[in-house]
Amino acid sequence: MAIVTAIDAEQRPAQTIEVGYDLASRYDDELIVLHVMPQDLFDRRRRAMGDSEDIEGGSPTPVSYGTSRGGVSETSSSVTAYSVDDAEDDAADVAREILDETLDEYDDVTVRGRVGDSTEEVLAEAERTDARYLVIGGRKRTPVGKAVFGSTTQSILLDVDRPVVTVMRDNE
Residue range 34-56, pLDDT digits in tens: 999 999 999 999 998 875 444 43
Q: b or e along 132-161 (b: 16 or more beta carbons within 10 Å of the residue's beta carbon)? A: bbbbbbbeebeeeeeeeeebbbbbbeeebe
Kindly report the CATH number that applies to the domain delimited by 2-169. 3.40.50.620
Looking at residue 1, its pLDDT comes to 92
Distance, CA of 155 to CA of 138 (rounded, Å): 11
Point out the residues of the chain with pLDDT beneath 50.
52-77, 148-149, 172
Q: What are phi and psi of 83, to 5 degrees?
A: -100, 170
pTM to 2 decimals?
A: 0.78
